[in-house]
Amino acid sequence: MCAKRVSVVDNERCVGCQLCMFACSRRLGYGGLGLSAILVKSTGGIERGFTVIVCRACQSPPCQKVCPTGALTAREGGGVRLNQDKCIGCGHCRDACPFGAIFWNYELNKPIVCLYCGYCVNYCPYKVLSFEGVRK
Amino acid sequence: MYGKVLHIDLSRKRSWVDDQSELFANRIGGVGVGIKLLEEELPKGADPLGPENVIVFAVGPLTGLYPMASKTIALFKSPLTGNLGESHAGGRSATAIRLAGYEAIVIKGASETPIYVAIHGGKVFFRDASGLWGVGNSLTVGRILREREPGAGVRSIMRIGVAGEKLVRYACVTTETYRHFGRLGLGAVFGSKKLKALVVSGAGIIPVKDVKLYRTLYDEIFNAATRTAIMRKYHDIGTSMNVSPLNEIGGLPTRNLKEARFEDAEKISGDFLAENYLGRRVACSHCPVACIHLAALREPYEDEPYFYKTTMISYDYEPIYALGSMLGISDTQGMFKLFHEAEVLAVDAMSTGVVLAWMTEAFEKGLISERETAGLKPRWGDWRTYLKAMRLIVEQPTEFYRDLSMGVMYASSKYGGSSYALSLGGNEMPGYHTGPAAHIGFLTGARHSHLDSAGYSLDQKILKENRKPSIEEIVDYLLEEESWRQILSSLVVCFFARGIYNPAFVEKALRAVGYSFNSSELVKLGLEFLREKNRFKVREGFKLKDLNLPERIYETPSPLGYIDREFVRKAVDLFYAKMGL
Q: Between 1.10.569.10, 2.60.40.10, 1.10.4160.10, 3.30.1390.10, what CATH number should domain B239-406 receive?
A: 1.10.569.10
Residue numbers in A near B65 (CB within 8 A): 31-32
**Closest residue to A31, CB basis, from B152, B206, B282:** B206
| A113 part of a folded domain | yes
Query: By CA distance, what is A105's nearest residue in B?
Result: B204
Query: By CA distance, what is A33's nearest residue in B?
Result: B203
Give B 351-380 residues with CB within 8 A of chain A: none
Are B181 and B74 spatial neighbours (Cβ–Cβ below 8 Å)? yes
Q: What is the largest CA-CA distance in chain A?
A: 43
User: Residue type at B323?
Assistant: L
Supply the Cα-derived Rg of chain B in whole angstroms: 22
CA distances from B560 to B247, B331, B419, B465 (A): 14, 30, 21, 11
Looking at CA atoms only, how far is residue A121 from chain B in angstroms? 13
Q: What is the DSSP string of B495-536?
A: GGGTTTS-HHHHHHHHHHTT----HHHHHHHHHHHHHHHHHH
B298 CB within 8 Å of a chain A CB: no
Domain ranges of chain B: 4-201, 239-406, 428-579
A11 CB within 8 Å of a chain B CB: no
Count of A–B CB contacts within 8 Å? 99
Question: Are A17 and B283 inside 8 Å of each other by CB?
Answer: yes
Is the CA virtual torsion A105, A131, A11, A56 positive or negative?
Answer: positive
Burial of A106 (0-12, 13-18, 19+ CB in 10 A): exposed
Q: What is the pLDDT of residue A1?
A: 61
CA distances from A85 to A96, B341, B463 (A): 21, 56, 68
Looking at CA atoms only, how far is residue A2 from chain B in angstroms? 29
- What is the topology classification, in CATH, of domain B428-579? 1.10.599
Query: By CA distance, what is A39's nearest residue in B?
Result: B153
Residue numbers in B near A128 (CB within 8 A): none
| A9 part of a folded domain | yes
Q: What is the pLDDT of residue B231?
A: 86
Question: Are A45 and B286 inside 8 Å of each other by CB?
Answer: no
Q: What is the pLDDT along chain A (136 residues), one digit of tens a residue?
A: 689 999 999 999 999 999 999 999 999 999 999 999 999 999 988 999 999 999 999 999 999 999 999 999 999 999 999 999 999 999 999 999 999 999 999 999 999 999 999 999 999 999 999 999 997 7
| A134 part of a folded domain | no
| A136 part of a folded domain | no
B206 CB within 8 Å of a chain A CB: yes
Three-class secondary structure of residue B363 per DSSP? helix
Question: Are A26 and B215 inside 8 Å of each other by CB?
Answer: yes
Report the helix count and the strand count for chain A, using DSSP H and E.
3, 9
pLDDT tens, B543-573? 988 899 999 999 999 999 999 999 999 999 9
**Closest residue to A16, CB basis, from B143, B283, B312:** B283
Residue numbers in A near B283 (CB within 8 A): 15-18
Strand ranges inside B202-275, DSSP E: 205-207
Residue of B390, B491, B361, B450 whose CA lies nearest to B2: B491
Are B459 and B556 spatial neighbours (Cβ–Cβ below 8 Å)? no
Pairing of strands B123-128, B179-181: unpaired
B43 CB within 8 Å of a chain A CB: no
Residue of B323, B417, B329 whose CA lies nearest to B368: B417
Q: Between 3.40.50.2300, 3.40.50.300, 3.40.50.12160, 3.60.9.10, what CATH number should domain B4-201 receive?
A: 3.60.9.10
A49 CB within 8 Å of a chain B CB: yes
- Rounded Cα distance between B314 and B575, Å, is 36
| A112 part of a folded domain | yes
Is the CA virtual torsion B209, B213, B216, B217 positive or negative?
Answer: negative
Query: By CA distance, what is B208's nearest residue in A?
Result: A30
Q: What is the pLDDT of residue B1?
A: 73
CA distances from A30 to A35, A117, B152, B511 (A): 8, 16, 22, 15
The whole domain housing A106 covers 4-127
A19 CB within 8 Å of a chain B CB: yes
Number of domains comprising chain A: 1
Q: What is the pLDDT of residue A26?
A: 98
CA distances from B219 to A19, A22, A119, B38, B325 (A): 12, 12, 12, 36, 41
A100 CB within 8 Å of a chain B CB: no
Name residues of chain B where pLDDT drops below 50: none
**CATH number of the domain bearing residue A77:** 3.30.70.20
B95 CB within 8 Å of a chain A CB: yes
Residue numbers in A near B287 (CB within 8 A): 17
Question: Are B99 and A44 inside 8 Å of each other by CB?
Answer: no
**Closest residue to A22, CB basis, from B142, B176, B286:** B286
B46 CB within 8 Å of a chain A CB: no
Question: Are B290 and A18 inside 8 Å of each other by CB?
Answer: no
- Rounded Cα distance between B133 and B270, Å, is 36
Burial of B473 (0-12, 13-18, 19+ CB in 10 A): middle
| A132 part of a folded domain | no
Residue numbers in A near B514 (CB within 8 A): none
| A47 part of a folded domain | yes
Q: What is the pLDDT of residue B408?
A: 98
- β-sheet with B155-159: strand ranges across: B123-128, B115-120, B195-201, B155-159, B173-175, B179-181
**Packed helices B503-512 and B519-539: angle between N→C axes, nearest 10 degrees:** 100
Q: What is the pLDDT of residue B86?
A: 98
Are B394 and B166 spatial neighbours (Cβ–Cβ below 8 Å)? yes
Residue of B386, B387, B209, B239 whose CA lies nearest to B321: B239
Residue numbers in A near B203 (CB within 8 A): 32-34, 36
Question: Are A44 and B211 inside 8 Å of each other by CB?
Answer: no
Count of CB atoms within 10 A of residue B2's CB? Answer: 17
Strand ranges inside B401-455, DSSP E: 423-424, 427-428
Q: What stretch of H or E contains B8?
A: strand B4-9
Question: Are B294 and A33 inside 8 Å of each other by CB?
Answer: no
B452 CB within 8 Å of a chain A CB: no
Three-class secondary structure of residue A109 per DSSP? coil
HSE toward the beta carbon, residue B413, CA cutoff 13 A: 8
CA distances from A127 to B238, B288, B554, B564 (A): 20, 12, 50, 52
Mutate to test the interface with A, among B280, B289, B293 (most CBs of A within 10 A): B280
Q: What is the pLDDT of residue B233?
A: 83
Are B332 and B360 spatial neighbours (Cβ–Cβ below 8 Å)? no
B284 CB within 8 Å of a chain A CB: yes
A15 CB within 8 Å of a chain B CB: yes
B65 CB within 8 Å of a chain A CB: yes
